[in-house]
Structure 1
Amino acid sequence: MYSILISLAIGALLGVGYTLLDWWQGWAMGLIVGVLGAVTSFIVLSRILAKRFEPRFLQAQKQLQSGSTQLAVNTLEDLLPLARWQVMLRGQIYAQLGILAYGMEDEKRAVEYLEKASYRAADAQMALAAILFRRKEQER
């Protein structure tokens, strides 16, 4: 989420700056420069953040492959405070945590995480539906 706000601020500064300098085509070109600046800064910022998150996800994957499921869960939980920097990352982390809890047969934690998961994570929604079906809570 912070990445969007920072990108919009950069775009606004570029657009207003270009308009105030009153170069070629004035405010119309300032609007275009602002939008292009916001989109470009969002892409660059997202790639920088992805490079910071990727090693931690790979670490969790290696921990999971070695059978240390609880360490993988802890690694993913450590990423939650950083999730506010990237769009839709929090829902994906909760989906992965829910699937891991479901695999460890901890249904209480699995439901807690899966309810917070993104609706775009189909596997998380399927796991939540399976748990609720087993509990006879189809109305939810």
Structure 2
Amino acid sequence: MYNLLISAGAAVAVFLIVSLAAGFQYWWAALLGAMIVFTACFVLIARSVTKKLEVLMEGAMKDIQAQRFEKGIRDLKSALRFAKWQIYVESQINSSIGMVYFVRREFATAFPYLEKGFFKNWVTMGMLGVTYMKRNKHDKMKETFDKAIMATPKESLLYALYAYCLNEIGENVKACEIAAKGLAKLPGDENLKLNLELLREGKKMKMKGYGEMWLQFHLESLAVLQKQQMAAMGGRRRIIRK
């Protein structure tokens, strides 16, 4: 990582200059100066790289939102040139690219980017977990979700998604444990409470409470959620009489 190397190089140079100029008996002053220079260089370079990335990423996201997907993805890929400058830059960009492909249902293309994604991006980690489930790599699915929960321990949908996937592969007991774990972290969460009850009763989870955030994982279609909602209303639309 260039930022670290440049900052460390500047710090070593300051340490040697101060030590030689003042004498090695003042090594503590040289060390203090070196630490100050290292921190200042690291922060300045990080800010410069972050600012350039923000401009590039903002433009890419605008293109993607306007459904100019190819241009947006090209811009995201071009941002990978900053990967050697800053820690986690490469994984964050890979997460963004993987998410775009996954949302577009280009799952095979999304997979390698999601695999190299940022572990603190719980949405893309969830997408990776879903991909592993669909590929029957259940151990990798669990490993991915466990890592995501460790990094983001207070996200209701993440627990629900993990429980849903576990239930899909026939591990109802483990699914109940994960939903209960989420409820312990998020007491009073109605979505987790409802789904834990459904899991314990051996029924299908109801995820419509999570809205569009749930739909992006492509485990249920909007039509299915609307059908569930209609069933909850008695199977017919309300008639408003004048």
Q: Which moved more, 1:88-97 or 1:120-129?
A: 120-129
The structure with more radius of gyration: 2
Aligned-partner Cα distance in 1 for 2:121–2:7: 26
Structure 1 runs not aligned, ≥5 long = none
Describe the SS at the equivalent of 2:84: helix
Partner of 2:59: 59
Shift of 1:81: 2.2
Aligned-partner Cα distance in 2 for 1:68–1:3: 33
Shift of 1:52: 1.9
Aligned-partner Cα distance in 2 for 1:124–1:20: 51
When the two chains are superposed, the root-mean-square deviation of aligned CA atoms in Å is: 1.6
Partner of 2:239: none
Aligned-partner Cα distance in 2 for 1:43–1:122: 27
Aligned-partner Cα distance in 2 for 1:48–1:81: 14
Aligned-partner Cα distance in 2 for 1:104–1:70: 12
Describe the SS at the equivalent of 2:67: coil
Amino acid at match of 2:100: L
Aligned partners of 2:49 and 2:82 also within 8 Å: no
Aligned partners of 2:11 and 2:34 also within 8 Å: yes
Q: Calculate the TM-score normalised by the size of structure 1.
A: 0.92
Describe the SS at the equivalent of 1:136: coil
Structure 2 runs not aligned, ≥5 long = 141-242
Describe the SS at the equivalent of 2:82: helix
Q: Report 1:1-140 matches (<5 A).
A: 1-22=1-22, 26-140=26-140
Shift of 1:136: 2.1
Q: Calculate the TM-score normalised by the size of structure 2.
A: 0.55
Describe the SS at the equivalent of 1:85: coil
Q: What is the aligned-residue identity percentage? A: 22
Aligned-partner Cα distance in 1 for 2:103–2:15: 50
State the structure with bigger RCO (CA 8 A, min sep 6), 1 or 2: 1
Describe the SS at the equivalent of 2:139: coil
Describe the SS at the equivalent of 2:120: coil
Q: Aligned pairs, how many?
A: 140
Could you give the per-residue CA deviations for residues 19-59 of structure 1, whole angstroms, max 9, x where no partner exists? 11117x61111011101110111001111112222211111
Aligned-partner Cα distance in 2 for 1:119–1:51: 22
